[in-house]
Amino acid sequence: LFQDTYISLVAGMFKCELATYIFYSSLGITIWNTILISLGYILFDNLNVLEGIYGKYKMLILIAFSVSIIVIFMRKLLLKKR
């Protein structure tokens, strides 16, 4: 999913240690999968509704993530110039 693909970029930007990254990534993946599996089980009969909701929020998350990355890079550039 989204966070699994791009979170490594953020971890690399902040020079996160590999063991710490693996621990928190595994924890996040476990929580995220538990939530999605539970929602899928509960909303099995209304899967179209779930897909529509997820589709809407996926784009918002992508936009928020992109803006965050831009802000982080701009901040780093501005701090470097000082």
Task: Report pTM.
Answer: 0.43
Q: In this predicted structure, what is the pLDDT of residue 67?
A: 96
Residue 1 has pLDDT above 70, yes or no: no
SS (H, E, C) the chain: CHHHHHHHHHHHHCCCCHHHHHHHHHHHHHHHHHHHHHHHHHCHHHHHHHHHHHHHHHHHHHHHHHHHHHHHHHHHHHHHHC
pLDDT value at 50 more than 80 = no
